[in-house]
Structure 1
Amino acid sequence: MANSPEMRASDADRDRVAAILREHTAQGRITMDEFNERLEQLYKSRTYGELAKLTVDLPDVDLRNQPATVSQSPARRTGLHPGLRAAWGAWASASGINWVIWLIVSITSEHLIYPWPLWVMGPWGVILLISTVFGSPPPDKSKKKKKNK
């Protein structure tokens, strides 16, 4: 059954039109001001006819054939859990700060003192390493989206 202009549009329909508007903005067909105006009107729209008015002056865009332009960070490609990435970042920051303090104390005392930062970073690093190797994988966002539908 074809969608008549009077039929109510869903959130998914509005999201599709928003993606089309983003693509036309990226291609330079509409300015950011026009995009923002159309986007504001988009989320006020209730029917297919109102949605169609937003893209009537734009050529059709097949979003399925658009190249993927989003690059993932190395941590995301490796599948490291976001909490674990944050823990490794905290470990690296704390270790770096401790080594700087150790270096300053060693320089000001005019001789090298015992490398105590090893006791800070060692056990913590071992625990993180074990968690990284044997920990659970990150949550699958695609499964979560399917459950919400």
Structure 2
Amino acid sequence: MANSPEMRASDGDRDRVAAILREHTAQGRITMDEFNERLENLYKSKTYGELAKLTADLPDVDLRHLPVKASAAQKPSQQGMHSGLRAAWSAWAAASGINWVIWLIVSVTAGDLIYPWPLWVMGPWGVILLVSTVFGNNQPKRT
């Protein structure tokens, strides 16, 4: 049975049109202001005819066959380190740097080099990160 313009649309229909509008926005066919205006009208729409008006001036988009972005097309081994692991290394480097600066300030103000306690902060944490980097799976978990 063909969908007539007077037939009531479902939430799923509105979600599909929202995805189409997002894709057209990403491709630069409509501005963010136009997208927000159309999205507002989308969720006020009740019939297929009202939904069709929102995309009437846009070409058809097959959401199942969108072009793959270059970074997603790369093999996981070529993508480098997982972003979570990269963030963990960044946190380790920042904390280690801060601890060494504190150690240096205390040593200078004391007039003598004190015990290098930052090694106890960065050592175990760094070893765990190193083992995770070398032996861990650098792939993001898929749900």
- TM-score calculated relative to the size of structure 1: 0.65
Aligned residues with identical type, % of pairs: 74
Matches within 5 A, 1:94-105: 94-105=95-106
Gaps of 5+ in 1: 142-149
Give the whole-Å Cα distance in 1 for the aligned partners of 2:91 and 2:28: 41
Deviation at 1:23, TM superposition (A): 3.6
2:142 corresponding residue in structure 1: 140
Give the whole-Å Cα distance in 2 for the aligned partners of 1:48 and 1:16: 12
1:98 counterpart letter in structure 2: N
1:147 corresponding residue in structure 2: none
Matches within 5 A, 1:33-48: 33-48=33-48
Q: Does 1:30 align with 2:13?
A: no
Gaps of 5+ in 2: none
2:9 counterpart letter in structure 1: R
Deviation at 1:99, TM superposition (A): 0.8
| Structure 2 CA distance for partners of 1:18 and 1:79, relative to 1, 3 Å | farther
1:55 counterpart letter in structure 2: T
Deviates more, 1:128-137 or 1:52-61: 128-137
* CA RMSD across the alignment: 3.3
Matches within 5 A, 1:12-27: 13-27=13-27
1:122 corresponding residue in structure 2: 123
Deviation at 1:140, TM superposition (A): 1.0
- TM-score calculated relative to the size of structure 2: 0.67
Give the whole-Å Cα distance in 2 for the aligned partners of 1:103 and 1:70: 42
| Structure 2 CA distance for partners of 1:15 and 1:87, relative to 1, 3 Å | same
1:91 corresponding residue in structure 2: 92
